[in-house]
Structure 1
Amino acid sequence: MENGIRNQGLAWQAAIVDLDGTMVDTVGDFEAALNRMLDELCLPHVDRGFIERTVGKGSEHLIRTTLAHVGAAVALYDPAWTAYQRHYLSINGEHSAVYPGVVEGLRRLRACGLPLACLTNKPTAFARPLLARKGLDGFFAEVFGGDAFERKKPDPLPLQMTCRALGSEPSRTLIIGDSSNDARAARAAGCPVVLVSYGYNHGEPVAAAGADAVIDRLDALPLASVLA
């Protein structure tokens, strides 16, 4: 393990990495799936700006917020959810791209001997195929989606359960994400957290999310000094 990875003198034991907005830019996938869903329901489209502000809290929240945004009846949620799942699975990864520096950053973390987990609010059935399609699945010992536990981020439970699966202590498990969801969950779970500057933070400045550090690329993670 790289000697520079330290948490107040203690070596990191593991790292947990978010997916959407952290490793993969998936707004194009969301846009395609949501607008096909809306076409099926004869509703107006949503744009990328709305999606960037809305994603990150799970697909259920995304669908409900989208329906409210276009003025649709709440009763349309069930058919909307069914249509969205079908369309998303049909295009998953087709309109998305891995951010620069992600593969290199994951390689650096693995080279330090850290077991890695991907923890996302995206449904597991969407997350696993996306990681595989983008060639990222081999980096992770564990993959947990938003339906893996009783609650989603920003609740600390998913982080606590993921630490348990990795066999790591929360205080020695580095969280890497892109939004206040990740920062809030990490703080509540007792984990250190680093956020990337380019993701989807609900339209808010990521610098205000309360992370220990903000980086511009995953391979810019200062392994020799971060949080030292």
Structure 2
Amino acid sequence: MDASTPKPIRTPKAILFDLDGTLVDSAPDIAAAVNELLAAHSLPPQPVAEVTTMIGGGVRKLVERAFAASGVSLAPATLEQAHRDMRPIYLRHLTGLTKLLPGAREAIAHFHAKGVPMAVATNKPQLAARTILLHFGLLERLGALVGGDAVTNPKPAPDMLLFALERLGVEPRDALMVGDSISDVKSARAAGMPVALIRGGYTETPVEELGADLVCDTLLDLPAALQRVLTAA
């Protein structure tokens, strides 16, 4: 069985969570940051729904997509400057409009009570992710946090997942990745671990078509859905 094929779900000895679109709905804050950057370049704002399609791949990719949606193709040097301009703007828009997604707090509390080590693996910058997790009181229940700037290759590469699991002391085959997009599936497959997807995140493709090992309506459903899979195995 190679890394591209589905993986059997065992009782997880660790769970890794994506952040944006999985634990939190951060699209309104991200849209606010994008539109502040665009305004500084005399470009019109983008609606939240449009910005939502740009999420995934980190801040640099977000900036590139935002300008592309405005009809502007940036030269590499100009893109790098726009990315530098975006960094302080992005950090100003983290918790004002961001909300926890249904079941996020409950799922974290459930697995924490079961003694399952958890981590967040996100393409969001480390400081931004930490700020959000602290704001919602989730950081203290996590054994590790790996942001996009903590590794050389962010998702869909496996690097941050493997780094998080190394911090938790768990092998990939004994862990579970929980996300909302094809990037989460690809990174989990490349790391050699099973993956569960939550509906309602930041993907234009139905999650049932992304090749996950388990699909749940919300994080509220994850513990029971996981138990059903383990019981049927």
TM-score, with length taken from structure 2:
0.89
Instruction: Return the alpha-carbon distance in structure 2 between the equivalents of residues 36 and 9 of structure 1.
Output: 43
Runs of 4 or more, structure 1, over 6 Å off, are none
Relative to structure 1, the CA distance from residue 157 to residue 9 in structure 2 (aligned partners, 3 Å threshold; closer, same or farther) is closer
In structure 1, C-alpha distance between the alignment counterparts of 2:139 and 2:9, rounded to whole Å: 31
Post-superposition Cα deviations, 1:113-133, rounded to whole Å, max 9, x if no partner, equal 111000000111211101111
Give the equivalent residue in structure 2 for 1:3.
none
Asked whether the equivalents of residues 43 and 70 of structure 1 are also in contact (C-alpha less than 8 Å), the reply is: yes
Per the normalisation by structure 1, the TM-score is: 0.91
**Residues 11, 33 of structure 1: alpha-carbon distance in 2 compared, 3 angstrom cutoff:** same
Q: Which position in structure 2 is the counterpart of 1:41?
A: 41
Structure 1 unaligned spans of 5+? 1-6
RMSD across aligned C-alpha pairs, in angstroms? 1.7
SS of equivalent residue, structure 1 residue 54: coil
User: 1:142 and 1:179 mapped to 2: Cα distance?
Assistant: 21
1:169 to 168, 171, 175: 171
Q: How far apart, CA to CA, are the structure 1 residues paired with 2:164 and 2:132?
A: 20
SS at match of 1:32: helix
**Unpaired segments of 5 or more residues in structure 2?**
1-6
**Deviation of 1:219 (Å):** 2.1
Structure 1 counterpart of 2:228: 225
Would the alpha carbon gap of residues 41 and 51 (structure 1) be closer, same or farther in structure 2, given more than 3 Å must change?
A: same
Deviates more, 1:116-125 or 1:214-223: 214-223
Q: 3-state DSSP class of the match of 1:16?
A: strand
> Is the CA contact (8 Å cut-off) linking 1:108 and 1:219 kept in structure 2?
no
Contact 2:120 2:144 in 1 (8 A): yes
Q: Which residue of 1 aligns with 2:182?
A: 180
Alpha-carbon separation, structure 2, partners of 1:134 and 1:99: 11
What are the within-5 Å matches in structure 2 for residues 105-124 of structure 1? Answer: 105-124=107-126
Question: Aligned partners of 2:202 and 2:153: how far apart in 1?
Answer: 20
